[in-house]
């Protein structure tokens, strides 16, 4: 019988709706998702982690406070949040690379595939990007189509557009696309 893991969750109001965060006992963030997608993410979380208990806790490890700073315009606050990325080696490679995309900038799926030294894996990069369990903090919203179009975002394209515009307004980096 496997040991049951304990996780802590909290929710916060954002300009884009209610967000939910889930962290482990060591303070690492495992999930960030929008409340309107909670059923989907809960199923993925329980399937991925096996025996797990999720306990409500106010601002576990200061993640809510850091996310509030982000939504107030301090884009770099996301870098202060420790995450655990559980997935296949390829998914983890993609998700780690997402954290290297600076706020206020974007990258195409093709450029992201080249960045991880898998230039022919553009579609696989898109699939991994779409299964990112730590949205916003692991900024999958910064990945766009090679033509500059906003494509796929689990939280919806309106949220993706808002996040990119928010980051462009508050970032020292200039919003530009790398093809």
Other Cβ atoms within 10 Å of 51 Cβ, number: 10
At 29 the three-state DSSP class reads strand
64: exposed, middle or buried (C-beta count within 10 Å: 0-12, 13-18, 19+)?
Answer: middle
- CA distance linking residue 7 with residue 14, whole number of Å: 22
- Catalytic one among 140, 143, 163, 164? 140
Q: Is 4 labeled as catalytic in the residue annotation?
A: no
- CA distance linking residue 13 with residue 10, whole number of Å: 11
Annotated catalytic residues are 140
């Amino acid at each position: 019988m496997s040991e049951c893991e304990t996780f802590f969750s909290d929710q916060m109001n954002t300009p884009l709706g209610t967000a939910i965060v889930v962290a482990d006992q060591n303070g690492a963030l495992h999930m960030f998702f929008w409340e309107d997608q909670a059923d989907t993410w809960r199923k993925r979380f329980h399937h991925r982690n096996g025996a797990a208990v999720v306990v409500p806790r106010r601002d576990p490890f200061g993640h809510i406070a850091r996310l509030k700073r982000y939504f107030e315009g301090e884009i770099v606050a996301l870098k202060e949040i420790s995450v655990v990325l559980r997935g296949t080696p390829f998914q983890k490679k993609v998700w780690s690379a997402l954290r290297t995309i600076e706020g206020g900038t974007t990258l195409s799926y093709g450029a992201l595939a080249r960045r991880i030294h898998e230039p022919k894996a553009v579609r696989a990069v898109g699939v991994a990007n779409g299964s990112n369990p730590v949205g916003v903090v692991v900024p999958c919203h910064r990945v766009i189509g090679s033509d500059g179009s906003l494509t796929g975002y689990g939280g919806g394209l309106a949220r993706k557009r808002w996040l990119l515009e928010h980051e462009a307004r508050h970032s020292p980096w200039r919003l530009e696309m790398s093809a």
